[in-house]
Structure formats: C-alpha cells, structure tokens
Structure 1
Amino acid sequence: MSNTATSSSSATANKNEKLPPGVVLDKDGKPCRLCTSAASWRTMAKKASTASSSVAAGAVLASATPSSSSSSSSSSSTSNECPPDVEQLGRSTWTLLHSLTASYPTTASNEQQTDMRSFLGLFSKLYPCWVCADDFRSWMADPSGKNEPRLSSRAEFGQWMCEAHNAVNRKLGKKEFDCNFWEERWRTGWKDGRCD
C-alpha cells in the first residue's frame, strides 16, 4: 500500500521548496508522517533544526547540542517506539491484508463476501497514507473491472490480494512475488519446513 506516496511526493515537495524531496503533504498542506519515508522525515527535521538553531542565541545552541546528540544516539534504541513511516506502515498493512486472505473461508457466504467488500472499501478510504489510499481505491475501480475484489473463495481472494500487492511492487520498481505461492507464504508455511 505504501509507496505510491513516492510517485507523487516529488510534485508535492516542489509546491513547498523548503521541504526535502520525498516529503508528502497531507490534505491540510502539512507534512504527512505516514506518507513520508523515515529518511525524508529525518532530513526535514534536520533542516528545521538547522534553521531554528541558526536563529537561536549561542548560549541556547550550546545547551541544546548535548541533548540533541544524546537523543540521536538513543534514537536507534527507541526507533521501534516512533510513529511508522510509509514503508513500515506498508509492510505492516500487507501483513494484515495477506493474513485476512489466509483466514478467509474456503468458500465464502454472500454475507462474508459483502463484509469483506465493505472492509476493503472502508480501508481504501481510511488508510492513513492518503496518497496510498487514493491509489488503492483507483486500482480497485479500474474501468475494465479486472481489479474488482474477487471474494467467492480463499483461493480467489488470496490470488487477488497478491495481484494487488504486485501492482504496488511494480510501481515502486520492486520484485514481484510469484502468486502461485501466496498460500505457502501467508497461510500454510513453506514446504521446506523453514516456518516450523
């Protein structure tokens, strides 16, 4: 899911030249942490820190320097306690979505299909990275109908989700996953026993 943010981030960042490349703005025009990579966020924070410290008095700067260096040295130990960036959010989301397919019924009732269709619709509206959400919603609404969720069975839904994930991977220039193995990857574990 993540990561269509990178395709529009350059255009967004160009609107406000003070922002480094890769910083995506939310719909209110403020930097969106969930739509921006951690590296771009850190670059933006460093720029802001540098700008504010150049305005600060020498005594304030001197007293701030030790605390900022100690916080950066401890940041690696607390990085798991920070808000997610677009990549971490995306990886976690794909884990959730593929896990939903793995636990989906072998044959889904009409009610189960309706519930999942509703979930996917709401998910594509409420996903925290708005650029990613818009992209996923657009992908599902492809005029040809080829990307409409296939929900009659676990096998169909798993294949569809893998195709959705690969569509994002293609946009990001990442390697595609062989969808013939989605069930081993997300449900049963690999036949070679590495998940046992």
Structure 2
Amino acid sequence: MADDTQDNQSATSITSPGATATAQPLPKGVVLDKDGKPCRSCSSGAAFAAWASQAKKMKGTATATATATATTATTTTTTPPTTRKRTDCPADVETLGRSTWTLLHSIAATYPRTPTQSQQNDLTSFIRLFSKFYPCWVCAEDFQEYIEKEKIKAGSRDEFGNWLCEAHNEVNRKLGKPTFDCSRWQERWKTGWKDGSCD
C-alpha cells in the first residue's frame, strides 16, 4: 500500500515545541499527516527515526542554556541506549504495508470459489471501506484511485485474487519493486509452492 510520493514533504521545515527560530528541513522520506505533523504510518521507519532524532536534538538545543546554568552536586545515572530495535513499536509504512498485503491476500485465498451475491457485495464494501480507513493517508488515497480506475472484481476467488495481485503489482511498480506473477497467486497465498517447501 505504500506510495512513492513520500518525498513530497522533504522541503517542509520543523521546529521543536518551545524552540524559537531554528527550522530544519524534514529528513527525506518523512510524510506529514493531514494535521501537518510527521506521519509514522506514512513514513519509513528510518525516515521517522531520523525526524525524531532531529526533533530531540532541537529540543535539547532549546533547553541547553537553561540546563547549563543549573549546577547541582547530585550524580545522575543514565541508562545507555538500547542497540536492539524494539519489535513492539507502532508500525511504519513498510511494516504496515507488508501486514496489510498479507491480510488482504489471505482474505482472497479463503474467499469462496463461487460467492453469493451477498458475499460479493460484502467484499466490495469491505475493500472500499478499508481504503478509507487505511492508516497511511497517502496510500489510502492511492488505493482509492486504483479502485476507481480498476473496479473491484469479486465474482469468484480466482477473480478477486487476480484483481488483488494486480493492485499489489501496481504499488510495487510505483515503488520500483519487482512484480509478482499473478498466475501463481494461489500457490503463494493458499496452497503453498508446488515443490512442497511450505509443507
């Protein structure tokens, strides 16, 4: 679901709360949310971390003068920063995208071979609503445009699986990633590879 428009915000500058004048450009890859703040779920983890580090430095600079004048005789103990990245942090755009595609392809793999009209309507409604609530607003708008251009095909498992695979490939092309052979989508998401390596 990630979109290649993430660099469109790079010229925007930021100031930390309480800072007076120093403005710096956002790190490359940081996307602003609609409220004008950096969007974690729209930015890569590295870009968001770079912004957070930059913001902390700016905050530190703004308070450095006050801290330097305050001298105390007490000793403070600092905890060294962890070198291992936590696994329980909010999702960045890549983590969110991988998880989303896994969910959607898994839905396609378990969708009925011959769905009822009600099931077809439900799936179409789900995909449309899903695109409106997707956490990365840039990706959400991109997916909504795709849905308008390429109508959702929900007439059968194979039809929906192929439609979804093509939607995923469209995103991959925009991101400069390799595309997937959609004739093999069921091997990837339902049955496992023919060589038995998933068994």
Normalised-by-shorter TM-score class: 0.7 to 0.9
For these two proteins, the number of residue pairs brought into alignment is 182
1:115 partnered with 2:112: no
> Residues 83-128 of structure 1, C-alpha deviation per residue, up to 9 Å, x if partnerless?
0100000000000000000000001110000000000110110000
Shift of 1:66: 3.6
Structure 2 counterpart of 1:28, from 35, 49, 71: 35
What residue in structure 2 maps to residue 8 of structure 1? Answer: 5
Q: Which consecutive residues of structure 1, in runs of 5 or more, have no partner in the other structure?
A: none
Q: CA RMSD in A?
A: 1.9
> Residues 22-81 of structure 1, C-alpha deviation per residue, up to 9 Å, x if partnerless?
111111111111001000011111111222222322479xx89943xx2332x42xx211
Q: Is the 8 A contact 2:30 2:48 kept in 1?
A: yes
CA distance, structure 2, for counterparts of residue 192 and residue 64 of structure 1: 60
CA distance, structure 1, for counterparts of residue 50 and residue 97 of structure 2: 21
Structure 1 pair 117–65 and aligned structure 2 pair: CA distance change class (3 A): farther
CA distance, structure 1, for counterparts of residue 48 and residue 81 of structure 2: 16
Q: Name which of structure 1's ranges 46-55 and 23-32 shifts more when overlaid on structure 2.
A: 46-55
Q: Which consecutive residues of structure 2, in runs of 5 or more, have no partner in the other structure?
A: 14-23
Q: Is the 8 A contact 1:13 1:25 kept in 2?
A: no
Q: Is the 8 A contact 2:9 2:26 kept in 1?
A: no
**Identity in percent:** 52
SS of 1:72's partner is coil
Tell me the TM-score normalised to structure 2 length.
0.86
Shift of 1:21: 1.2
CA distance, structure 2, for counterparts of residue 28 and residue 48 of structure 1: 17
Q: What is the letter of the counterpart of residue 180 of structure 2?
A: F
CA distance, structure 1, for counterparts of residue 47 and residue 123 of structure 2: 34
Q: Which protein shows a greater Rg? A: 2
SS of 2:11's partner is helix
Structure 1 pair 65–96 and aligned structure 2 pair: CA distance change class (3 A): farther
Q: What is the letter of the counterpart of residue 127 of structure 2?
A: L
